[in-house]
């Protein structure tokens, strides 16, 4: 009888040399581990230490096994294929990272309180600059903790080529048309895009540069020092020290203020700031808090990074000021963008975090109060009652909206708590609320739970996969056996390739569920595109202050991130009627549940996995594995590894599939945008609008929406081209 799995695991552990466990290294590593777990209560620390110990010992056994295997075949002229396969699998598992970062996105408009909230969570008041009389962090800022001894920040700048491209677009915006009337000149001067372009150029090159040409600006010398590496690294022993160094880089000032420091003067070139805290007691290693501006950016590279950053977040917290949470276009736009992240990206959880909830005018609140018979005795009681009402109301509204957009079994819909009411100011002052009532500790607890859950799942999967390799290694008594085992593995891979047709049929079956909603959406888009375009092109005061903003939209192929008008995306707006039809079905295709109608793809993969495992059991019986469960366990584990990579491939493709509609429309309208962007002179704004209207009419008549439908279908079919 072969030894039981736990006995074999102990035998595998016994292969580890004594050198692996010498005390000095062990003590140092234990100390480092304890430091990393300081963010957790004692019970959770114990759990994490057990996970860490199990993973660490497994990695040592893998490494030891790998070294012994390499040594045993070092002098062989020809290494059997079975040995090569095993060596490669061991090396891949050894190099596999312990834990992929968990990105938590803080997504909100300027002044919503994102930076203040992050400061409170990491227990560092004023660490990131907060909104006062100046506009603050409008670049992406990532905050995490690590094993470093110092506080550190890396400031990533646009490359030289990326900045040249932005310069070209900025100078196009600042090309003032000749022979403008007085009213048109005033409108041009008040234009949001013009003001921002002038502001950026003056920050980098100084006053008066807005009248220079693109070629002249290429020869101009920036006021601030720009390193050739395009990365600025800051280090400090204390948080306050790093904060002072970092502040000028991410605090942007309004036009008309003093020029500021040399660091402030390169702000327009900054695309990302990464901040690392040493051994945080509150933020565990593996968590990345991301301060995400609400509108994206005029620069293509920064805007692309903005979208990708949103999509890589597994959790999105929509940050909204208490005074703006009950409505407004900006809040709705951000909410819709967050929901889209659940559709196209890796986001599995989202919540509304209402900030500044200590703000309340008591006489006004008492006058409008309509609930409860109990008298309010104090400001604190009023704040707590109002916060509870906000939670109930917004939780209901948010859940209803998510139900319309997401599959019914989505993880986020299972959460009983979708709304948090927080106060960063009260967290520090505690004049009205206790620390617990500010709900900052509740957000920290949420972060810890997410990391614990992910660590548990990762370690379980890692040890299971390693155990399969241990079983295989132990069952090999000679290289001939290795060769024979490789034949089984090779046969398994051929079997997988043959059966991949089942997944291709599943992909076609899943796409069939979205065909009708797509067709209905296309019809809705055809009937409403003119009205949608008209709404997008109408701004307050007619064309005043909108001429160059519209030009910026056209220069960027229909997309412009404006500080005052929000994010303008004509392509997405035009395709919105299609997305409204397909969203629930699209989300259902990539969910992990088990719907009876066969519309979800992942259950098909699970069924395929089970069928292969059953097939391997049959093969094992035919090949005399009845009393050798190691071989069967290993090959079944290999099936999971192979198809696990397929699941990751499909999820990475999801974003491209989802965005194929708006990308298709953008590509078809590109000639219209380019023509409109070249228009100057009198009545330029109206002439640009006419070009866009005529161009859109022509493209719709020529089947623009139908082409978008075909391109989405093509992207779905591309899932069949699975990686080898």
Q: What is the pLDDT of residue 6?
A: 36
Residue 197's pLDDT band, with cuts at 50, 70 and 90, is confident
Q: Does a structural domain hold residue 117?
A: yes
pLDDT score of 491 more than 60: no
Examine the domain organization and report whether 194 and 244 are in the same domain: no
Co-location of 612 and 622 in the same domain: yes
Asked if residue 717 and residue 592 are part of one domain, the reply reads: yes
C-alpha distances in angstroms, 195 versus 173, 252, 613? 10, 14, 64
Burial class of 566 by CB neighbour count within 10 A (0 to 12, 13 to 18, 19+)? middle
Q: Are residues 394 and 528 in the same domain?
A: no
pLDDT of residue 135: 53
Angstrom distance (rounded) from CA 360 to CA 356 = 9
User: Is residue 643, in this structure, part of any structural domain at all?
Assistant: yes
> What's the pLDDT at 685?
86
82 closest CA partner among 467, 487, 495:
487
Q: What is the pLDDT of residues 549-567, one digit of tens each?
A: 888 899 999 998 876 677 8
Does residue 477 belong to any structural domain of this protein?
no
Cβ contact 199:255 at 8 Å: yes
Query: Cβ(149)–Cβ(472) under 8 Å?
Result: no
Q: pTM (2 decimals)?
A: 0.85
Of 151, 148, 144, 124, residue with least CA distance to 32: 148
Q: Determine the length of the chain.
A: 724
Residue 385: which pLDDT band, with cuts at 50, 70 and 90? very high
DSSP 8-state secondary structure symbol assigned to residue 43: H
CA–CA distance, 584 with 577 (Å, rounded to integer):
13
Same domain, 550 and 639: yes
431 and 557: one domain? no
Scanning the structure block, which residue is given the tokens 């900052």? Answer: 440
Mean pLDDT value of segment 108-133: 84
Both 91 and 199 in one domain: the answer is no
Query: What does the pLDDT read at residue 417?
Result: 86
Residues 6 or more apart whose Cβ sits within 8 Å of residue 294: 107, 108, 109, 110, 112, 330, 333, 334, 566, 567
Rounded Cα distance between 420 and 423, Å, is 10
Instruction: Say if residue 109 is in the same domain as residue 150.
Output: yes
Contact indicator for 566, 332 with CB cutoff of 8 Å: no
Predicted confidence (pLDDT) per residue in 224-270, tens digit = 889 999 999 999 999 999 999 998 888 765 555 555 565 667 888 99
67, 86, 411, 467, 531 from 83: Cα distances, Å: 13, 5, 42, 17, 66
Min mean pLDDT across 79-83, 581-585, 672-676 is at 79-83
- Kindly state whether residue 369 falls inside one of the protein's structural domains: no
Residue 179 predicted with pLDDT over 50: yes
Q: Report helix, strand or coil for 719.
A: helix
Number of domain units in the chain: 4
Residue 409 counted as domain residue: yes
Beta-sheet strand order (sheet of 140-146):
231-236, 151-157, 270-278, 140-146, 287-292, 102-107, 315-321, 349-355, 419-421
What is the reported pLDDT for 624?
Answer: 63
Confidence of residue 632 (pLDDT cuts 50, 70, 90): low
Please state, in angstroms and rounded to a whole number, the distance separating the CA atoms of residues 617 and 675. 65
Same-domain status, 346 and 423: yes
The pLDDT-based confidence of 652 (bands split at 50, 70, 90) is confident
Please check the confidence at residue 133 and state whether its pLDDT lies above 50.
no
Which range marks the domain in which residue 115 is found? Answer: 102-158+230-362+378-438
Q: Is residue 25 part of a domain?
A: no
Residues 281 and 291 in one domain: yes
* 12 within a domain of the structure (yes/no): no
Examine residue 540 and state whether it is found in any structural domain, yes or no: yes
Q: Is the same domain home to 218 and 342?
A: no
Based on the domain organization, do 85 and 111 belong to the same domain?
A: no
């Amino acid at each position: 009888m072969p030894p039981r799995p736990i006995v074999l695991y102990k035998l595998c552990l016994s292969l580890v040399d004594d050198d692996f466990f010498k005390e000095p290294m062990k003590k140092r590593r234990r100390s480092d581990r304890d430091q990393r777990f300081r963010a957790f209560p004692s019970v959770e620390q114990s759990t994490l230490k057990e996970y860490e110990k199990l993973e660490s010992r497994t990695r040592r056994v893998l490494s030891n096994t790998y070294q012994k295997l390499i040594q045993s075949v070092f002098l062989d002229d020809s290494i059997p294929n079975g040995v090569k396969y095993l060596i490669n699998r061991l090396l891949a598992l050894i190099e596999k990272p312990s834990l992929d970062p968990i990105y938590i996105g803080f997504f909100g408009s300027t002044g919503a309180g994102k930076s203040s909230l992050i400061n409170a969570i990491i227990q560092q008041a004023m660490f990131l600059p907060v909104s006062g009389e100046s506009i603050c962090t409008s670049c992406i800022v990532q905050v995490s903790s690590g094993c470093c001894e110092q506080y550190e920040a890396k400031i990533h700048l646009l490359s030289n080529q990326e900045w040249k491209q932005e310069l070209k677009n900025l100078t196009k915006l600042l090309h003032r048309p000749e022979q403008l009337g007085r009213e048109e000149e005033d409108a041009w001067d008040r234009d949001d895009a013009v003001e921002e372009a002038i502001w950026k150029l003056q920050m980098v090159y100084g006053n008066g540069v807005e009248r220079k040409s693109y070629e002249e600006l290429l020869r101009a010398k920036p006021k601030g020092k720009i390193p050739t590496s395009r990365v600025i690294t800051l280090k400090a022993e204390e948080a306050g020290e790093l904060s002072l160094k970092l502040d000028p880089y991410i605090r942007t000032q309004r036009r008309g203020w003093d020029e500021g420091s040399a660091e402030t003067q390169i702000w327009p070139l900054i695309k990302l700031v990464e901040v690392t805290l040493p051994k945080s007691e509150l933020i565990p290693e593996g968590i990345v808090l991301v301060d995400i501006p609400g509108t994206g950016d005029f620069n293509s590279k920064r805007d692309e990074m903005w979208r990708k950053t949103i999509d890589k977040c597994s959790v999105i917290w929509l940050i909204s000021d208490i005074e703006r949470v009950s409505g407004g276009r900006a809040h709705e736009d951000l909410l819709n963008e967050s929901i889209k992240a659940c559709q196209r990206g890796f986001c599995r959880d989202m919540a509304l975090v209402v900030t500044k909830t200590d703000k309340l005018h008591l006489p006004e609140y008492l006058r409008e109060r309509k609930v409860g018979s109990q008298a309010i005795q104090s400001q604190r009681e009023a704040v707590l009652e109002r916060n509870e009402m906000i939670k109930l109301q917004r939780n209901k509204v948010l859940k209803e909206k998510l139900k319309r957009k997401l599959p019914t079994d989505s993880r986020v819909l299972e959460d009983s708590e979708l709304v948090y009411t927080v106060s960063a100011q009260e967290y520090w002052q505690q004049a009205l609320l206790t620390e617990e009532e500010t709900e900052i500790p509740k957000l920290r607890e949420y972060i810890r739970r997410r990391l614990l859950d992910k660590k548990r799942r990762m370690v379980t999967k890692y040890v299971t996969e390693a155990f399969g390799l241990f079983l295989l290694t132990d069952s090999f008594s000679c290289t001939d056996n290795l060769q024979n085992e490789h034949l089984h593995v090779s046969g398994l891979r051929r079997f997988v390739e043959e059966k991949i047709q089942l997944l291709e049929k599943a992909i076609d079956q899943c796409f069939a569920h979205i065909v009708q909603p797509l067709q209905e959406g296309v019809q809705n888009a055809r009937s409403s595109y003119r009205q949608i375009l008209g709404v997008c092109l109408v701004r307050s005061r007619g064309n005043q202050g909108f001429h160059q903003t519209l030009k910026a939209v056209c220069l960027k192929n229909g997309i412009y991130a404006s500080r005052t008008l929000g994010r303008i995306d004509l392509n997405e707006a035009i395709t919105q009627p299609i997305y409204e039809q397909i969203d629930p079905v699209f989300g259902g295709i990539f969910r992990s549940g088990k719907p009876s109608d066969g519309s979800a793809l992942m259950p098909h993969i699970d069924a395929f996995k089970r069928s292969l495992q059953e097939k391997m059991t049959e093969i094992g019986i035919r090949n005399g594995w009845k009393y050798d469960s190691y071989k069967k366990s290993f090959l079944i584990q290999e099936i999971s590894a192979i198809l696990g990579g397929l699941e990751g491939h499909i999820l990475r493709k999801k974003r491209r599939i989802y965005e194929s509609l708006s990308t298709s429309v953008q590509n078809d309208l590109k000639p219209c945008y380019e023509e409109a962007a070249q228009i100057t002179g009198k009545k330029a704004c109206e002439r640009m609008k006419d070009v866009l209207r005529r161009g859109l009419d022509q493209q719709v008549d020529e089947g623009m929406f139908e082409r978008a439908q075909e391109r989405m279908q093509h992207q779905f079919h591309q899932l069949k081209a699975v990686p080898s």
